[in-house]
């Protein structure tokens, strides 16, 4: 059957439109480097478009564990075919100094490898992107404060405001005239702490809890490693406590297409960009 000239023109026009739309996307996918700084800068927009994480790390927190600091907690669980049952059944409560601490459950991120790693056969290189991004999402969420509230303080005529539902999808943020910041009614301090553990709370059965609490109370812009690492030149992320300002620093320095996260943290420590407190 002969195809009319006008039909050919319509098809060519449609293909041209598709190509025009897809080229920028292809160029973006082809990038082999996506810095955490870019992710951090776009985090507000991402939260608005997605409605925020389904189970926010930052809830009311606990202020009776470490003096003058609020402690939050997160449990990372692998996303597998049985994840629904495992997610629901996973023990999420740990007793610290007489306080039952509830760990908020997060699913680990599964991600395709960065383009630069697709040429290599190393299983570790091909899977570490998701592992690192799983921790990155926690650091971003823990460090997040409503940008509109922060910017209002530095206007020509400073304003001290409370966030609205558009700019804040997982909390209420407030700035007051004395310089203090509040999230969900609690002081938002750089010294606040986030406890993170992967898969299970069993790690804490083998930890000197008194020493851990002592470390958490003395940490300055750093991370306390709870689980020992069996790999050379690595800082393990199986279980750790991290201050809010350290979480923000790691989010800015972390390279989602770089080496495995344990090796990146070791490099930050060697270059004196990360304070590490062994437990």
| Boundaries of every domain in the chain | 1-30, 36-143+190-278, 146-187
Res. 34: pLDDT tops 60? no
> How confident is the model over 167-179, as a mean pLDDT?
84
Res. 173: pLDDT tops 70? yes
Res. 99: pLDDT tops 90? no
* pLDDT score, position 48: 44
Instruction: Work out the pLDDT band at 138, boundaries 50, 70, 90.
Output: very high
Instruction: Work out the pLDDT band at 228, boundaries 50, 70, 90.
Output: low
- Cα 20 from Cα 18, distance rounded (Å): 5
Mean model confidence pLDDT for the chain: 75
* Percentage with pLDDT > 90 across the chain: 30
Q: What SS3 state is found at 28?
A: helix
- Cα 264 from Cα 191, distance rounded (Å): 23
Cβ atoms of 276 and 225 closer than 8 Å: yes
Q: What is the pTM of this model?
A: 0.73
Residue 181 token pair: 């910041």
> How confident is the model over 143-166, as a mean pLDDT?
88
Cα 221–Cα 132–Cα 141 angle in degrees, nearest 5: 55
Res. 27: pLDDT tops 60? no
Write b or e for each residue in 240-273: b if 16 or more Cβ atoms lie within 10 A of its Cβ, otherwise e.
bbbbbbbbbbbbebbebbbbbbbbbbbbbbeeee
- Cα 52 from Cα 169, distance rounded (Å): 6
Q: Where are the alpha helices (DSSP H) in 113-195?
A: 123-143, 147-152
Query: Exposed (0-12), middle (13-18) or buried (19+): which is 105, by Cβ within 10 Å?
Result: middle
Which residue spans within the chain are E strands per DSSP? Answer: 62-66, 69-77, 93-96, 99-102, 104-107, 173-175, 181-183, 186-187, 193-198, 222-225, 239-243, 275-278
* pLDDT score, position 240: 93
Q: What SS3 state is found at 35?
A: strand
Instruction: Work out the pLDDT band at 84, boundaries 50, 70, 90.
Output: low
């Amino acid at each position: 059957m002969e195809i009319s000239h006008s039909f050919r023109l319509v098809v060519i026009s449609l293909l041209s439109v598709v190509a025009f739309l897809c080229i920028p996307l292809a160029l973006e996918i082809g990038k082999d480097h996506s810095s955490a700084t870019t992710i951090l800068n776009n985090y507000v927009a991402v939260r608005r478009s997605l409605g925020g994480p389904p189970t926010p790390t930052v809830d009311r927190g606990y202020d009776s564990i470490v003096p003058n600091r609020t402690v939050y907690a997160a449990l990372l669980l692998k996303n597998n075919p049985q994840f629904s049952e495992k997610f629901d059944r996973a023990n999420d409560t740990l007793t610290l100094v007489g306080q039952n601490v509830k760990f908020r459950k997060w699913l680990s991120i599964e991600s395709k490898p960065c383009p630069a790693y697709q040429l290599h056969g190393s299983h570790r290189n091909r899977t570490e992107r998701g592992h690192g991004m799983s921790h990155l999402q926690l650091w971003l969420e823990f460090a997040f404060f409503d940008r509109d509230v922060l910017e209002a303080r530095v206007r020509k005529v400073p304003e001290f405001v409370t966030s609205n539902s558009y700019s804040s999808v997982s909390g209420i943020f407030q700035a007051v005239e004395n310089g203090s910041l509040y999230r969900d009614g609690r002081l938002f301090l750089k010294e606040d702490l986030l406890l993170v553990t992967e898969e299970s709370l069993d790690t804490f059965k083998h930890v000197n809890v008194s020493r851990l609490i002592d470390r958490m109370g003395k940490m300055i812009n750093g991370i306390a490693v709870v689980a020992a690492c069996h790999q050379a030149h690595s800082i393990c992320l199986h279980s750790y406590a991290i201050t809010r300002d350290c979480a923000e620093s790691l989010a800015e320095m972390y390279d989602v297409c770089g080496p495995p996260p344990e090796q990146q943290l070791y490099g930050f420590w060697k270059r004196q960009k990360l304070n590490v407190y062994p437990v």
